[in-house]
Structure 1
Amino acid sequence: MKTVLVTAVAAATALLPGAANAADRHEVTLEPTARLTPDGTRAVVTGTYTCEGVRGPVRLRVTLRTQHKRELNADEKQAVSGLYQWLGLPELPVPKKATSSTSREQILEGTCDGTATAHPWRHTFIGGVEKGTEASVTVAMTSVDSRTAQTKTLADATGDVTFA
């Protein structure tokens, strides 16, 4: 009878909002200012991850998206105009600016110790970022069950960073 009562109380408690996983707090943070290395060839993005209630390996998927706008030079404008002529669309206006977008992704390995300790993470992307560049960064923390190979998303964070 006591076992049934304990099970019933546990089941009822699990239905309370916020009570089911009160001890399981997973969080990923992202620092809003990213750094360039002194030689300007690498972009460094940092933050922390917390995985209270989880033990074992985790993966942090870090995605950096940048967008660069610039004026077209005379040769590029001529090439676009020639392309429009070749396509039979000479009336199309030649754009004044070009926009290029890049997206880079990297997987970082981490370890959770089951506590609320904030673990720092850091990743360096090589090339393609200048001082003052604004970028969008997404960080997703996942765990993989080694028995079933099931992936579980624990936390994620998205934000804009400026490279200084």
Structure 2
Amino acid sequence: MGTTPSQENSNPTLSDVLPKNRLINVFASLTRQFDSVESRLNDPTQNMTVLAPRNSAIMDLPRKPWENPDDYARYGEAEAYEGSEGQDRAKKNLERFVMAHVVVGSPWGDGVEGEGRGGETMAGDKVGWVRRGEKIYIQPGDVEVDSIAEKVSNGEVWILNGVLNYA
């Protein structure tokens, strides 16, 4: 038997709530471009923590999320993202950006090093968080958490005032 709409609404997933928050709708739209991410966020059996950068943090980046300085060094500025190979590089870089902001598990971590708790992103990066006073910061990078915006059946959405390293 399938679920009724009322049953679905009683157990929203991360993919249900991400697009509803206007502070992070740029990042939310990026998550829907990659099946590897979207399927995990929609899966009620796999808990995740989404570290979603605010729209303003993404807009203020010194380079676009699909850009990688190594690509410019290797292929030149004019050719780095031209043609189908360049578009593939850009898409891979963008997927890396998104995956670097999704932690496998929620709640995440049982004490890594130091005072914080840690986990691993879908991109394979080790990340952690520490609390200093009333604020929470993601490490490495000391990225301030604006708020924990949502807690749903398969995880949490944390809104960041910056972005994590995605190179």
TM-score (ref. length: structure 2):
0.24
More strand by share: 1
Higher relative contact order (CA closer than 8 Å, sequence separation 6+): 1
More helix by share: 2
TM-score (ref. length: structure 1):
0.24
Which is higher, the Rg of structure 1 or of structure 2? 1
